[in-house]
Amino acid sequence: MGTLFAGVLRAGGNDVTLIDRDPETVAAAEAGLRVEGETELDVRVPATTDSESVDANVVFLFVKAHDTGVALESAGSLLDSAAVCTLQNGLGNPETVASFVPEERVYAGTTAHGATEVGPAHVRHAGAGKTTMGRYFTSDGGLAKRIAARLSAAGLETEFTRTPEEAIWEKALVNAGINAPTALARVENGALDGGAGERLLRRAVEEGAAVARAAGRSPPEDIAERALDVARSTGSNVSSMRADAEAGRETEVEALNGELVRRGEEWGIDTPVNRTLSDLLRLAYRGQS
């Protein structure tokens, strides 16, 4: 996702620097970052492994949820005055960002774009969608609207919202219903349309929605149906959690189903399906506990 956003923003004439810990990715971006699929472009993007060498007004965070703290710890002076915007999956990322920068500099939201890595600084833009963002902890002073306008002008349709937490919860509930079941069963998203897959999806989402409401959020009443619609519309897709699990990488289950379980305990909401999905993933992929 970082490669996609960096490439599109750079092609749109914006001053962008890609920061990545992999020297091969940095070299490839500077030689010519490539996006194919929904978007086709080949553009040189300034890139570095040294975040301390970059002076930025806005930092977009695109690492996996479990790497958020590590990425911010390594950012150093990059965070001295920059706004930090997380469009990551899962719950808890804005709170982690707020442990590194003041709350008034934390921006958050969601994106429906899909990107798959093909090689260093080379991604396939698998699906286009809307991005939603706003200032997370305090009312917006105008910067979120300007960021949204800049993203939209570059070709990444973005909507400003005064309640980014609602968008984050809604996407987290959809992902909780799709990602863990498909990762465990090793099936494409469309397998959740009907039968056992649909029962798992609906129960995981409904449990999460009960947690959200207990926490004072307002997920749509038809959130389970919305999750099912996403599974149908992306029927041939391999979920990111399944891709990570099959590649032996740590998954984001702790920021999704696992976090719903933890918050359910806090609010007195039972979440047996999300607990079972989380434990099965921890058991099957022993990089997590």
Can you tell me the distance from the alpha carbon of 114 to that of 111, in angstroms, rounded to the nearest whole number? Answer: 8
Cβ contact 107:57 at 8 Å: no
In which element (H, E) is residue 222 found?
none
The answer to whether 110 touches 102, Cβ cutoff 8 Å, is no
Residue type for position 21: R
- Tokens at residue 265, please? 């305990």
The residue ranges of DSSP E strands in 120-239, in sequence order, are 122-127, 131-135, 158-160
Radius of gyration in angstroms for the set of CA atoms belonging to the chain, rounded to a whole number:
18
Active site (catalytic) residues: 171
Strands 33-37, 41-43: pairing kind: antiparallel
Cα distance between residue 190 and residue 198, in whole Å: 10
- Can you tell me the distance from the alpha carbon of 248 to that of 242, in angstroms, rounded to the nearest whole number? 10
Nearest to 165 by CA among 102, 263, 90, 64: 90
Across the strands, what pairs with 116?
A: 124
Strand partners, 60: 85
